[in-house]
Amino acid sequence: MSTIRVAVAGATGYAGEELIRLLLVHPHVQLTHLAASAKWERPVAVSTVFPRFARQCDLPLESLDPQRLAASCDAAFLALPHGVAMTLVPALLKAGKQVIDLSGDFRLKDAALFTQWYGKPHTHPELLGEAVYGITELSAQAIAKARLVANPGCYATSVILACAPLLKAGLVEPDWIVIDAKSGLTGAGRKSETQLLFAEMHENLWAYKVNHHQHVPEIEQALAPFAGGAPLGLCFVPHVVPLNRGILSSIYLRLVKPATWEQVDALYRDFYRHAPFVRLRPKDQWPQLRDVEGTNYCDLAFAVDAAQRGLILSSAIDNLLKGAAGQAVQNLNLMRGWPETAGLL
Amino acid sequence: MSTIRVAVAGATGYAGEELIRLLLVHPHVQLTHLAASAKWERPVAVSTVFPRFARQCDLPLESLDPQRLAASCDAAFLALPHGVAMTLVPALLKAGKQVIDLSGDFRLKDAALFTQWYGKPHTHPELLGEAVYGITELSAQAIAKARLVANPGCYATSVILACAPLLKAGLVEPDWIVIDAKSGLTGAGRKSETQLLFAEMHENLWAYKVNHHQHVPEIEQALAPFAGGAPLGLCFVPHVVPLNRGILSSIYLRLVKPATWEQVDALYRDFYRHAPFVRLRPKDQWPQLRDVEGTNYCDLAFAVDAAQRGLILSSAIDNLLKGAAGQAVQNLNLMRGWPETAGLL
Amino acid sequence: MSTIRVAVAGATGYAGEELIRLLLVHPHVQLTHLAASAKWERPVAVSTVFPRFARQCDLPLESLDPQRLAASCDAAFLALPHGVAMTLVPALLKAGKQVIDLSGDFRLKDAALFTQWYGKPHTHPELLGEAVYGITELSAQAIAKARLVANPGCYATSVILACAPLLKAGLVEPDWIVIDAKSGLTGAGRKSETQLLFAEMHENLWAYKVNHHQHVPEIEQALAPFAGGAPLGLCFVPHVVPLNRGILSSIYLRLVKPATWEQVDALYRDFYRHAPFVRLRPKDQWPQLRDVEGTNYCDLAFAVDAAQRGLILSSAIDNLLKGAAGQAVQNLNLMRGWPETAGLL
Amino acid sequence: MSTIRVAVAGATGYAGEELIRLLLVHPHVQLTHLAASAKWERPVAVSTVFPRFARQCDLPLESLDPQRLAASCDAAFLALPHGVAMTLVPALLKAGKQVIDLSGDFRLKDAALFTQWYGKPHTHPELLGEAVYGITELSAQAIAKARLVANPGCYATSVILACAPLLKAGLVEPDWIVIDAKSGLTGAGRKSETQLLFAEMHENLWAYKVNHHQHVPEIEQALAPFAGGAPLGLCFVPHVVPLNRGILSSIYLRLVKPATWEQVDALYRDFYRHAPFVRLRPKDQWPQLRDVEGTNYCDLAFAVDAAQRGLILSSAIDNLLKGAAGQAVQNLNLMRGWPETAGLL
């Protein structure tokens, strides 16, 4: 099978680095271009910035240039800060390229909502309708036909995969969904902020953006169709934990009607019967981050608290893989008609 | 002021080690005896087992012997595995000693409940009524008169201090209290179990004992009086996080009636107006474990989600101090009529 | 190309787990058998013990049985505690299987030396001569013809690769080679020892087995031929550092005669000109563990201290890959005539 | 006993924070002033920046102002970036204040050497002669009479305490002293640099400033008198390890003449017979960072390699205490004639 040419814009962030790692070993692609928003007087070898790629990749890191980006590839991954991708996407689409955007720029359908959560106007609202929100397992058909995929947020992926089957089955009350999410530090990006220093974060733990994290609206938007119109009441509290990679979301719901563990298990297994990257844990065994680290899997487990009609969910992913670069490649696989797992096992 | 003689039984566990550290600098006590359940042919210097105590303490670690223990001290701290303290306490009380037990042996008033949660019969149920459950801030008067204090569990302390004011004020619904608690590894004790190995736990995170941790019944028992008879519905899920010390409990409640952040803040400040070790964080600032590490403080913060009648609490303690050894010393201070903060600042 | 059948004995240790991970994606092998020394009443699915292998491997973990092991495979990897492999190897060789032993059993040529360092007699000293000590880069031809490869120790690999070129060139004094090695915790194995607990090791660091680690004799044996008969004086001090994976060895030597950085660099580049897994860092850039984590690379850097005739080396590997499972697969590749990098990029 | 007024300039760095912690509980001082080089429109409560000091300290953090600083105190601790203290010290001394400077500004006696290592001219070389280099154990008498103490670097403290007794006894060769030092991340300061981010440093380890760290000249200067004029050949390689606090220096020397472990032990015990903060470990027991964490101790151990005339030293300190704030307080104690251990146990 011949390969296509792919580019990564935003190659010096954690997600960009992971995209490079995945794409170097993907059987159907050839990595042809790496760009970053930093300005270099002259291109720098990617292995100078990331010595781990020495002997594996000798591409230069180039300044971000829309023309060069479009010319270099058949498909582009954009792993840039929020607000940058929307300035690049129109030209890429016009040039006939497929685009997978890992930022928040094209996730929300409502431009006003974008402005509310990201603090800036959207420069290309006309593309919001076309962009496909890419939780692969939930929108496979639309992704297969998409020119532009909005790759979901890491927290959002862990929550949406866990909740969709329950809401669709009408099994849980939609009005008070408590999500206590815990993320490693790569989730904060490679930013020089004092609070992200090792000596600040090691032996530390805290809640942040309590109930106003920017992933809230995309979770609501993605889960709404499964809730059948019922208003969703999300209580979403992210926490930063002292580890590099991984998100564990613990989700607390109340059952509308009694259900056994076995019934819920059957419901999940049916819902994800064609999903190679969603794994259900056996009864009373709970996901550990280490079991998904370095993989594109989402591991799910749950318990039923019959006395209180409670349902407790635990959802684990690698935030840089299923939560970013891995799902992005999974989406490319669908967009190109390749096996969903190509380059991901 | 003259000093009293104190002993620590269970001196080789994490809580025991911390008790030694505190008692060595406490102005009103003299540490006279250290015992551990291990059998030594001859006593071993504590600084052989804990080199950090070299030059600071030359007491020997001795095998646990009820007679010697009673003879050695005026007050005894018991930091032993569940089930051991109840075999020692009757003799200590009979000998006129004050006892602070850090295990679960005397926390529950109902012997049947003890058996249900700890898997063994209670050998001295006649003492359960007398034992004072020692959240210092909530039972100061009873502690001041107690012969036997049951020092609360670490998770329980973080949860009870956070919830009691709200329940007392009738501000929150008691029937679905979601507690997502996160603890460092010293909480699991110094036990040689594979799952507690560094290489298993580092870069890892998971939920465990989902909804059936043994601290659940003591939380229910302690909060019940504040709820005025309403049945409590606790959903308690502890998580193990890769750090040494600290517990952060995130608690999710629903308001019975609307309340502003300022009203809730005033309620807490009034409730804890005499409590030197409870600190309220300013609005929109959340507790970090590092700020309570090495201290006896409990740091509290909360947010009101008016739209959904939600109330989100965050409670941080050092599990070995306010969650164990620190609160134990705080309780001794009350039992002896010393300043509550003696030896703890 | 057809595949061969391979087995892993000792599949529940860290090296065994890593072997499974590598062999599942190796293009020329089929994993057919997993054994561990634990006794199970009935076989357990490997994904029960290692949930990360769910959906990827459904082989059972079986009790270690020499007959079944030999029948199951064409080549066997033995990742067992020291002293076990020597009881299995004779039967495997007799059955015509290729064997790669990751323990210390067949590394030393001198049975008396084995007894001195491992504390037990060698039961099959007649095989010590045949076993090839497998630093792949230094013994490629012998490995290609070997039936039995003794896979080197992790520390030893990092040190030997760094020192061999200098000794061969007669550039450094052989009589006082200071090696300060630092290893993550997986190097200690999955053993339930108190000192390996997370809460003991986190925020901690120490030297151990000072100058009497069992890797010393294999380093001496492997480097002796390069030193041309001069007696080697190794001062080897391993340290345990709070991280999971990786070894960084800092090595301090004195030059016999003046040499520039460029001359030494040329010497290394020539020595390793055919070695795909040895990488030299640019001047004044030092290896970081993260750059070799998850890879089979050995990253090397050095500085020349002209004033003092000093030469400082830094050598980084992933202890479970180039230091164990990765090099084992690299050796199998040579034994079978496959590309050296098969399954390792 | 009455107290003196002390100020901390540079209160927002890691050493400054630790100074506050120590001085708040020191029996003979009253903390009266906190300054930092940041510019605030109006003073900020220290507990806003460091919530751990809530309820413990309500001093404001003020902009650095030499006049206010001098007026506020009897003695000042300067924990500022290199190059700032030398602009403040003359006025403080003129105002009759005692000064303990934790930066490198007054450590080197030779102004040219300062310029060479710190990259800027010294503005007050006339004070270099007066400043006392303050390894407390080695210069007690001079410190007791000093107006200005140059508090030693953290690495330097760990190395000088370990090597001085051996050099004084003429027991080791001075011309090739290999020092492999390992430091936690607080040693790098609270600086917003990408390489100090948690996600860069966790699971990582590397050597840096190989043989050209700015602590080299102060080690040479401090050890020279003990070497009796013999030129010292230091090979000093610092490493950054993923932990918050602590330095472990492993030092490799060669004996001039044979010596037993017992002889060397006796030499150290005699040398440090009056030093309350230097502890010798028993034979074959090696210092662990955790045993000095949070303390002002320096723990030392060593091994003699008779066959190779080698002597291996291990020296552990808490870099923020004996390596910075702790030794600074220890020095103040001597300058004021208080017990050396006041406020440090």
Chain D residue at shortest CA distance from A14 = D199
Give the Cα separation of B69 and D249 in Å (integer): 42
Round to whole Å and give the CA distance between D205 and D181.
Answer: 12
| CB neighbours of residue D112 within 10 Å | 11
B42 pLDDT more than 90: no
Residue C304's closest chain D neighbor by CA? D211
Instruction: Provide the 10 A C-beta neighbour count for residue C289.
Output: 25
pLDDT grade for D39, boundaries at 50, 70 and 90: confident
pLDDT band at residue C254, thresholds of 50, 70 and 90? very high
Contact C202 B244 (CB under 8 A): yes
3-state secondary structure chain D: CCCEEEEEECCCCHHHHHHHHHHHCCCCEEEEEEEECCCCCCCEEHHHHCHHHCCCCCCEEEECCHHHHHHHCCEEEECCCCCCHHHHHHHHHHCCCEEEECCCCCCCCCHHHHHHHHCCCCCCHHHCCCCEECCHHHCHHHHHHCCEEECCCHHHHHHHHHHHHHHHCCCECCCCEEEEEEECHHHHCCCCCHHHEHHHHCCCCEECCCCCCCCHHHHHHHHHHHHCCCCCCEEEEEEECCCCCCEEEEEEEEECCCCCHHHHHHHHHHHCCCCCCEEECCCCCCCCHHHHCCCCCEEEEEEEEHHHCEEEEEEEECCCHHHHHHHHHHHHHHHHCCCCCCCCC
**Helix (H), strand (E) at residue B336:** helix B325-336
Residues of chain A with pLDDT under 70: 1
What tokens does B339 get? 């300043």
Q: Which of B190, B199, B203 sits opposite C194 (nearest CB)?
A: B190
Q: How far apart are CA C147 and CA C47, in angstroms?
A: 31
Predicted local distance difference test score (pLDDT) of residue C1: 60
CA closest to D277 among chain B residues: B55
The span from the CA of D300 to the CA of D291, in Å, is 11
Q: How far is A298 from chain B (nearest CA, A)?
A: 14
Beta carbons of B294 and D294 less than 8 angstroms apart: yes
Q: What is the mean pLDDT of residues B24-43?
A: 89
| DSSP structure class, residue B8 | E
- Residue B1 clears pLDDT 90, i.e. is over it: no
Of the candidates D57, D73, D154, D298, the residue annotated as catalytic is D154
Residue-level pLDDT at A216: 96
Nearest residue on chain B to C188, alpha-carbon basis: B199
Tokens of D222: 């401090």
Those residues with Cβ within 8 angstroms of residue C119's Cβ, 6 or more apart along the chain or in another chain = none
Q: How far is the C-alpha of A105 from the C-alpha of A126, rounded, in Å? A: 12
Q: Answer whether residue C324 shows pLDDT above 80.
A: yes
Token couple for D65: 């102002």
Integer Cα distance of D30 and D20 in angstroms:
11
Q: What is the ipTM of this complex?
A: 0.96
pLDDT confidence bin for D1, thresholds 50/70/90? low
Alpha-carbon distance of D61 to D35, in angstroms, equals 5
Contact C12, C318 (CB under 8 A): no
CA dist C214 and C115 (Å) reads 11
Query: Testing the interface with B: which of A173, A175, A178, A197 to mutate, by most B Cβ within 10 A?
Result: A178
User: If phi over 0 gives left and psi between -120 and 50 gives alpha, with beta otherwise, what is residue C65?
Assistant: beta
pLDDT in tens, B283-318: 999 999 999 999 999 999 999 999 999 999 999 999
Q: What is the pLDDT of residues B169-228, one digit of tens each?
A: 999 999 999 999 999 999 999 998 999 999 999 999 999 999 899 999 999 999 999 999
Tell me how close the Cα of A292 comes to any Cα of chain C, in angstroms. 6
B322 — pLDDT class (breaks 50, 70, 90): very high
Q: How far is B337 from chain D (nearest CA, A)?
A: 22
User: For the residues D191-204, what does the mean pLDDT come to?
Assistant: 94
Interface residues of D toward B, Cβ cutoff 8 Å, are: 25, 50-52, 54-56, 202-203, 276, 279, 281, 285, 287-288, 290-295, 297, 299, 345
Cβ-based interface (< 8 Å): residues of A facing D? 14, 184-186, 188, 190-194, 196-203, 242-244
B142 pLDDT tier (thresholds 50, 70, 90): very high
> What is the average pLDDT score of chain C?
96
pLDDT given for residue A2 in this prediction: 82
pLDDT at D257 over 90: yes
Q: How far apart are CA C151 and CA C107, in angstroms?
A: 7
pLDDT value at position A1? Answer: 60
Report the 10 Å Cβ neighbour count for D67: 9
Q: What is the pLDDT of residues C133-176, one digit of tens each?
A: 999 999 999 999 999 999 999 999 999 999 999 999 999 999 99
pLDDT over 90 (residue C38):
no
Residue in A50, A198, A240, A290 to test binding to D, most D beta-carbons within 10 Å: A198
CB D193 within 8 A of CB D127: no
Element (H, E) at B6: strand B4-9
pTM above 0.90, yes or no: yes
Is the CB of residue C101 less than 8 Å from the CB of residue C78?
Answer: yes
The two three-digit tokens of residue A248, written as one number: 């564990």
Domains of chain B, start order = 4-151+324-336 (3.40.50.720), 155-317 (3.30.360.10)
The minimum CA-CA distance between D242 and chain B, rounded to whole Å, is 12
Tell me if D192 and A194 make a contact (CB, 8 A cut-off): yes
Residue D136 token pair: 């407390």
For residue D194 the two structure tokens come to: 């990408």
Return the pLDDT at B273: 98
Using CB atoms, pick whichever of C191, C196, C199 lies closest to residue B244: C199
